[in-house]
Structure 1
């Protein structure tokens, strides 16, 4: 046998040589595997150092100290002004407006004439009803005389009992007719009186919706004019239901003063006069109403005002700057810087605010540092850096 095969051109090894060759290759592989295992801890250490070096840098924040203090318990809400009485004036009879007795925007007194509707058709109806009443009254008087005369004759036997009863029945029917005609006359007189539309309340009239010469009727949807009472006037507003017990307790003891400040005007003083009988389950608030004299007409219906409702003094309550309190989906919260300079999430319940300070309840302690600037970059557990 030759050392090389002519067909395959491959070197020929004996069994012993092949075993020695395989044993040498396996030894090299074992050496490489041992070196790799020995270097793994060092590689892991290097990777860990790289990860630590690539972590998020501390977020710069400004902080303030959680404090306890006596704070006036003032509720600040937005209120809406409305008239203490408002009436849309509509006619009670149909007809043409003959005359308007007021100027748009002026003050009117209760009972003052506002417009006159053409009275002539109603005066004619009244005369007709009076004529019918006079006729039925005359017929009744004749029937009563007949009944009295027949009453004497039936006793003497000159007329029958049946004839007497007929006169009595006729008198009773005519008496009912007279009553009906009197009611018709009264109704016609009322319609004639309604031709003069008077102010049902005292107040300020608005714009006239129907001009002189137009036809009006009692079924019109739009009132001829609206009258609003501006003095006194109401301011309605809502407060969280958590304040309801304090409000009711104060109203039971004394009058609760309310301040309303219109935009660009001086504050007006009023008195809390109404607490609604139901808490709004959708918003968790209750509706209140204050009454203001409004002698100078600084408050106007439909106006929005800033309302201040004093509810006594909060003694040694927990306070934080108002800008530290953030609003979440389900609750309010603040971020606190812990001893390791990491951001910590704390849920709080704001009670009221006064001059940039919020009174809160929650898992806060006096002396802790709350974040007042830089919250947008924070998340629980992130490192922070307090800057001045």
Structure 2
């Protein structure tokens, strides 16, 4: 009874085993090989690299004068035009001089009275000298006359000082520009009572040709500025002269390059403990007073040259937090990810301090697609964009803008 059942079961089990073995052979098929990653390559170049630095600065006047009254009174006239260029000593405001003129007239009258009194007492004193010589009066009477004369001399001197003081106050009623420069808006209108204790100055006058740019230089940048002088103190003067001749370039906040060349003016005498930076000032010619205090700008300067620096395109540097890497391509087009130390960086290039050698190939475009050990397929390098002409910067929509120089002539 059981034999027919077994005859049926055995073929079924055999077919199931064969099917399983066939499926396993298909699953064991070899995996597909990963194709090479298309990338654009560059090379590590060794060259002399100018030490470009860039800082954010704020424009200020070389001198800013707060015009305040030295006496109290009502403003009766404003002489200058707000926002115009004024010369040193040019009248700006007139404060009512009437009370001060009256004070001066009274002081002159008091002086005349004191002089007349002195004249009479002097005559009495001379007479007393003669009487004393003839023994007509006592020594005590002569000394009284002498003291009276000396008192009148003092009174005349006091009245002369009162006249001078009254004249100074009268002169102060005409408020003049303490320096030459660009005048500001008037803080008080005609008819307003002002005094030395007024909260705001009458106006301000700012000397802005040349104009000053103030920026903060970090201590690392500062040390690089003086590195040559530290190595050889005898070259300090020559280093300062070279820095002055190299000059500075200023790029305004909208990307406009200022055509005038600036120079380093001065540095503070200490580095801030709070910020770890030192305040540095530079000056730029400002013909036509186009630039105004308060503008922000980028200050670019070339300070020294790094000889034989290893330079790569900035796009080739892979940055992960504080770690910098380069994708180095070997002769077999296999990628090796290396950690590198990056020095100075510009807008287009980076100086590599260690990690690669001159002439090695690196991935410039496509770094996000490569991993360590992968194979790449070099693509033809795209034509490099033409560099912007000197004294110009690229702004919105690729437009290049530059301020006209003072001697440029408008087109007809």
Please indicate the TM-score interval, normalised by the length of the shorter structure. 0.7 to 0.9
1:252 is matched with which residue? 241
Give the alignment partner of residue 351 of structure 1, picking from 344, 367, 385: 344
Partner of 1:141: 119
TM alignment of 1:1-388, pairs within 5 A = 65-239=43-217, 240-245=221-226, 246=228, 249-252=238-241, 255-262=245-252, 263=254, 264=256, 266-323=258-315, 332-337=322-327, 343-346=337-340, 348-353=341-346, 355-366=347-358, 383=372, 385=374
Tell me the residue number matched to 2:13. none
What are the superposed Cα offsets for residues 82-138 of structure 1, whole Å, 9 maximum, x if unpaired?
A: 111111111111111101111111111111111101111111111111122222222
Q: Tell me by how many angstroms 1:188 deviates.
A: 0.9
Q: Encode CA deviations 1:31-66: one digit per residue, 9 max, x unaligned.
A: xxxxxxxxxxxxxxxxxxxxxxxxxxxx99987544
Q: Normalising by the residue count of structure 1, what TM-score does the alignment of the two structures yield?
A: 0.73
The answer for the alignment partner of 2:6 in structure 1 is none
Distance 1:267 1:360, change over 3 A: farther
Q: Offset at 1:173?
A: 1.7
Q: Distance in 1 between matches of 2:342 and 2:337?
A: 19
Question: Quick one: structure 1 residues 260 and 77, their matched pair in 2 at CA, closer, same or farther if it must change by over 3 Å?
Answer: same
Secondary structure in 2 aligned to 1:279? coil
TM-aligned CA distance change 1:141 to 1:74, over 3 Å: same
- The 1:305–1:324 alpha-carbon spacing in structure 2 relative to 1, beyond 3 Å, is same
Relative to structure 2, which stretch is displaced further, 298-307 or 151-160? 298-307
SS in 1 for 2:100: helix
Q: How many residues align?
A: 325
CA distance in 2, matches of 1:138, 1:349: 89
- Could you say which structure has the larger radius of gyration? 1
**Structure 1 residues not aligned, in runs of 5+:** 1-58
Determine if contact 1:204/1:228 at 8 Å carries over to the other structure: yes
1:26 aligned partner: none
Q: How far, CA to CA, are the matches of 1:100 and 1:219 in structure 2? A: 20
Report the Cα distance in structure 2 between the residues aligned to 1:307 and 1:170, rounded to whole angstroms: 73
Q: List per-residue Cα deviations over 1:339-384 (Å, max 9, x = no partner).
A: 89665544x352352x510224345544567776788999xxx856
- Pair 1:79–1:244, CA change in 2 (3 A): same
RMSD of aligned residue pairs (Cα, Å): 3.3
Q: Partners in 1 of 2:188 and 2:105 — Cα distance?
A: 30
C-alpha displacement of 1:149: 1.1
Contact 1:60 1:385 in 2 (8 A): no
Please state whether the residue corresponding to 2:54 is helix, strand or coil.
strand
Report the more deviating stretch, 205-214 or 68-77.
68-77
Q: Distance in 2 between matches of 1:63 and 1:136?
A: 99
CA distance in 1 between counterparts of 2:62 and 2:190 reads 29
